[in-house]
Amino acid sequence: MDIGVPSVRNLFRIKPERGLLWIVIGLTSIPLHLLYNSAVYTSVAANDFLVTVATNNHFAPGAYSNITEALNGYLQMPFNTLAWGRYQYPDFKLFSDVLEGYNTSPSGYEGLTPSECTKLYNADYLSSHRNLFLITNHSSDTTYNNTLLDMIQVGNLGISPSSWMCAYYLAGERRIYMETSVSCDPSELASNVTSGLPWWVKLTTGEEVEISGCKSEKIAEKCKVQFSLKIMIVVICCNLAKACCMVLAVVRSREPTLVTLGDAVDSFLRIPDPTTMGICFADRQYIKRKWSRDGWRAEPRQWKQKGARRWWTSVSKTRWITCNIFCSIIIIAGGVSLRLGMDYDGQVRSTDLKSMWAQGFGKVNPVSLIADELENVNKAMLLANLPQTILSFLYLTYNSLFTCMLMGHEWSLFSHRHRTLRVTSPRPGQRSTYWLQIPYTYAIPLMALSALLHWLTSQSLFLTTIEISDPLGKGVPAKVSGLGYSCIAIIFVLTLGILALLTAAGMGYKQFSAEITTVGSCSAAISAACHVGKVDSEEIVRRKVHWGDVGVEPTLGVRHLTFSSGEGVRKPVFGEVYAGTGRDWE
């Protein structure tokens, strides 16, 4: 069996009741990882809005305004006959109602300078403002008889909703997002206007006018924190099942536990295992390949180990291979996702590090949006949390590597000097455990690594719910659910994942404190090192113990390696014959 580390193999050697409890706790963890992060989520409010270009005397009493003339250029645009956007033809009533809305409530609009206007409307989704008047330097005269020069409608379902600012004449439909998204940079326009350059707008008629100011409709934001009752019920049921299993495990389990390495040593010193007698320096490889297959074959052997081994030897090849394969798959999948995301983003914007950093972590934007308009939000939740589940299982494997290596390190310290046994239920002369197998020096960084990776993953692929209101704010907002992604967050995940893998490999090259058998977590190998003969084992476990050469074993006639609380223990000598089998069994 495995001591001190998570092991599925142990399930087949424990009571069925305890195995069932373990399976229930494990299975109820899966829906928690898939659903818990999405039980409470936010939705982004976005407003469709109208942009009206008007002369500087449009708001004066008695000014002539004709909405039909203003929409003439819009109607003549050839792509308006195609169903490329949300609106094929302008809604005259909608345009008229927006104009009437200003007349009835002008206090709802605030005056802005061109600089303030470009900064405010250079946003992926506008939530605090809505309809906009662009005021030109011109007055209505013989050239501009109508104070309304042009009107367009801007939606939020395009790739770059703010592109209308530098490609106004195409903004009536999605054509703006397909033809001008690369050449049109709203951020550059806003920067230029802020620096003092004029803001020129090309109308749908082809004429260009300079904007001298704006009037923007200010509204209350409608962002929401939403709660999924179904998901929370599943979460509560899973946690309730876990709690019940834990209570049953505590109430019904009365037998001594073998949780730590000290528990195993204490148990085997008090009650020696006769099946491992005479193989005092058997390592886990011998136990796995020879002893467990052919039974007990003990004979004196020479100690062939020269120098302390490295930490990686305490981890089985299966654990190393499993962890490396899973890590490689995750890194490759992340790299492919990053490549696809950058290729997709590159069609509409720059993909250099500065641009990706500006997009931020977990920020909803129309460019980095996949699975748009899913049938329901639950599908988006499951897809967004799937990487979290995979990452959790991967972390268990990664954590087990450190657990095995640190367990090997603790084992080697018994050969370095006298040490007190660290056990779950200490007796006099023993010390209690405040950590299972990983000291806080390693446990805290590992927990921080797990938390940081989970957070970065949540910012790399996340649930996106957008509620889009019409320019009048009436009716039920259109809800769009999908998955957003962040290339810069994916880069951080990949970087941290690669560093974590290299750190584990680097830790594996550390040397143990002294020469000792590599038992790993193998209970039989630990048992083989705990045969003290006729010495009072009760006296040994109550004091500090030291593993090594304790002299000649009378019953075997050769020197013996075991635990002792005396001062005459020495390190194993290379070439010396001991009562046991070592790495030269092959």
581: its two tokens: 């089998």
The residue behind tokens 């007349």 is 103
Question: DSSP secondary-structure letter at 79?
Answer: G
Mean pLDDT per 10-residue segment, the chain (586 residues): 85 86 90 80 84 86 74 52 42 81 86 92 87 86 74 74 74 44 71 88 82 91 81 91 92 81 90 84 80 64 81 87 85 87 70 75 75 62 83 88 90 89 87 80 91 90 84 80 85 91 90 86 89 79 87 73 85 79 41
Residue 78: its pLDDT value, please?
45
What is the DSSP secondary-structure string of 529-550? Answer: TT--TTS-HHHHHTS-BEEEEE
Beta strands per DSSP E along 388-436: 422-423, 431-432
CB 345 within 8 A of CB 487: yes
226: its two tokens: 């939403």
Report the distance separating Cα 95 and Cα 88, nearest Å.
Answer: 14
The residue behind tokens 């829906």 is 31
Report the distance separating Cα 494 and Cα 339, nearest Å.
Answer: 12
CB 430 within 8 A of CB 260: no
Report the distance separating Cα 586 and Cα 584, nearest Å.
Answer: 5
CA atoms lying within 13 Å on the CB side of residue 240: 6
102: its two tokens: 């200003």
Residue 555: its pLDDT value, please?
65
Neighbours of 85 (CB within 10 A): 19
Report the distance separating Cα 296 and Cα 205, nearest Å.
Answer: 96
User: CA–CA distance from 104 to each of 58, 91, 97, 101 (Å)?
Assistant: 15, 20, 10, 5
| Phi, psi (degrees; rounded to nearest 5) at 173 | -140, -175
Residue 85: its pLDDT value, please?
39
State the DSSP H helix or E strand holding residue 89, giving kind and residue range, or none if neither.
none
CB 37 within 8 A of CB 458: yes
Residue 180: its pLDDT value, please?
42
132 CB-contact burial (10 Å; exposed 0-12 / middle 13-18 / buried 19+): buried
